[in-house]
Amino acid sequence: MLMRRIAGIFHVVTALVTGYWGLQVMFSDSSGGRFFWWPVTMLGASIVLLAGGILILFPQIKKRWLTALAGTILLVIWAALIRDFSWTYSIFAAAATLITWGTLAFASALKRPATAPLLASLMLTVAWLPGSVYAFRATFAAIPPIANALVLGPLLILWVLIIAASVLSAIAFFRSSAGGAPLMR
């Protein structure tokens, strides 16, 4: 029970931190071009991880409330930050809400609540990897290397959170029984 609570809180914290940085990247000048969908994928994966973390903390909660929470968060982001009607954001919001619902439904079908944060942390890894590699290469490709702590410091913290969330999710997933009763009590 204690391990599940710690894992759930850690997932929620990781989701909030990566969601914040996903919003930062989404509204930065470098988010254009052919990689437009990477920043919104970062934000969407954070929202799925938030729903998964809440599911770990409160396994009795209905999945439709978590799906509604994801849609509400996206609506609040639109109302507070974007304010203009955008087809791309509408498509993203619908896709993120459906992916949250699908992930929660898949976790429910397996009767393992830890499936949702595991899939979300894997999505976060895939979403943050290209940008992180680019930032790392850009920092050390200059002659002499630029030790840019303003980029690499938060990036290191971000990756510590993502990797720890992935490991906690994998441990919780593989330690839970097929019947849905977690062994981590």
Answer yes or no: is 30 within a domain: yes
SS3 176: strand
Answer yes or no: is 185 within a domain: no
Distance CA 115, CA 124 (A): 14
pLDDT exceeds 90 at position 137: no
State residue 31's pLDDT score: 47
Please state, for a pLDDT cut of 90, what percent of the chain lies above it: 26
Average pLDDT over residues 77-83: 81
Distance CA 39, CA 54 (A): 23
Structural domain harbouring 15: 2-175
Overall number of domains in the chain: 1
State residue 179's pLDDT score: 46
Answer yes or no: is 121 within a domain: yes
Answer yes or no: is 184 within a domain: no
Report the chain's mean pLDDT, rounded to a whole number. Answer: 82
Answer yes or no: is 101 within a domain: yes
**This prediction's pTM:** 0.82
Handedness of CA 125, 62, 6, 70 (dihedral sign): positive
C-alpha of 58 from chain center: 18
Answer yes or no: is 98 within a domain: yes
Answer yes or no: is 23 within a domain: yes
Average pLDDT over residues 94-109: 93
Tokens describing residue 113: 């609540």
pLDDT exceeds 80 at position 98: yes
Tokens describing residue 180: 């849905």
pLDDT exceeds 50 at position 61: yes
Answer yes or no: is 183 within a domain: no
State residue 183's pLDDT score: 36
Handedness of CA 163, 96, 39, 126 (dihedral sign): positive
Distance CA 57, CA 51 (A): 10
pLDDT tens track for 121-136: 999 998 888 878 877 7
Q: Tell me the pLDDT band of 185, cut-offs 50, 70 and 90.
A: very low
